[in-house]
Amino acid sequence: MDGGRSLLGAKGRGIGTAAKAAVDTGLTRPFPSIREARLAKNVLARYPDYAAVRFYRDEARALAAAAARTPTLSALRVVRPFEEHFLAPMFIAADGRSVDIPAEAMLGVAMLLLPCPAAFSPAVLLFKDAGAAQAASDDLVPPLALACAHRALFELDRFAVDYSEAFWKKTDRRLRPYFDRRGPFLYPHADAGTKDYDRLFKAALGAGVLLSPYAELPSIIPGDFDDGELALLAKALEGP
């Protein structure tokens, strides 16, 4: 699910419709839009620990903007849906890799991972200090991206009604032998070595299930599955 960007599905229920409407009205080019203020208000209401937001055309430009403010920056905190279930905060390095918590992390700024495909979404930096945000560079982004991101957050609210503990725990009976579940996130057992996780990954792929390709990053329970699919996955993971 692209690290959570496609949590709502390949294009969500209404994100594709929002994108088409924006294309039909010529909102595909970067220019100032009231949608920026609307999305910023929505984001800050959800993350009240932060004081301001800045938008960028992609995550690489957002990372570069953060690094320009702090030349010694080695990584940036990632804020994402359901992160309260993560074992530890997630950080992203300047080259886009996920990394452990580094001493040089900029803790007053974070990157927001939206539940929206990157092709339809802006990259977002959250700032704890409004003055720091004011001094940071940002991008004009297409209103199409702002509209799709706003729609994705609206859909996330509806999605979260049923995407909850009662739903996630339906995976436990089949997958508990292989994963420790924290909310919607599946961590391979701590005693699983790299080779064993490689085996699990390949076995799951053979059963038509794409796990996280990195043992240190959790897999995400999809918003739709049935017990028959879990049974096939568990059988594949069991091995010969």
| SS3 per residue for the chain | CHHHCCCCCCCCCCHHHHHHHHHHCCCCCCCCCHHHHHHHHHHHHHCCCCCEEEEECCHHHHHHHHHHHCCCCCEEEEECCCHHHCCCCEEEECCCCEECCCCCCEEEEEEECCCCCHHHCCEEEEECCHHHHHHCCCCCCCHHHHHHHHHHHHHHHHHHHHCCHHHHHHHHHHHCCCEEEECCEEEECCCCCHHHHHHHHHHHHHCCCCCCCCCCCCEECCCCCCHHHHHHHHHHHHCC
**Cβ 135 vs Cβ 69: under 8 Å:** yes
Give per-10-residue mean pLDDT for the chain (240 aa). 84 77 86 94 95 94 84 78 87 68 68 91 93 90 94 94 96 95 92 77 93 89 93 88
Q: In this predicted structure, what is the pLDDT of residue 11?
A: 60
> Among positive and negative, which fits the CA dihedral 83, 131, 133, 107?
negative
Predicted confidence at residue 231, as pLDDT, reads 94
At residue 12, the pLDDT reads 61
Q: Which residues contact 174 (CB under 8 A, 6 or more apart)?
A: 227, 230, 231, 233, 234
Question: How crowded is residue 43: how many other Cβ atoms within 10 Å of its Cβ?
Answer: 21
Burial-class residue 42 by CB neighbours within 10 Å (0-12, 13-18, 19+).
middle
Asked if 218 and 212 count as a contact pair (C-beta separation under 8 A), the reply is yes
pTM over cut 0.85: yes
Q: How far is CA 191 from the centre of its chain?
A: 26
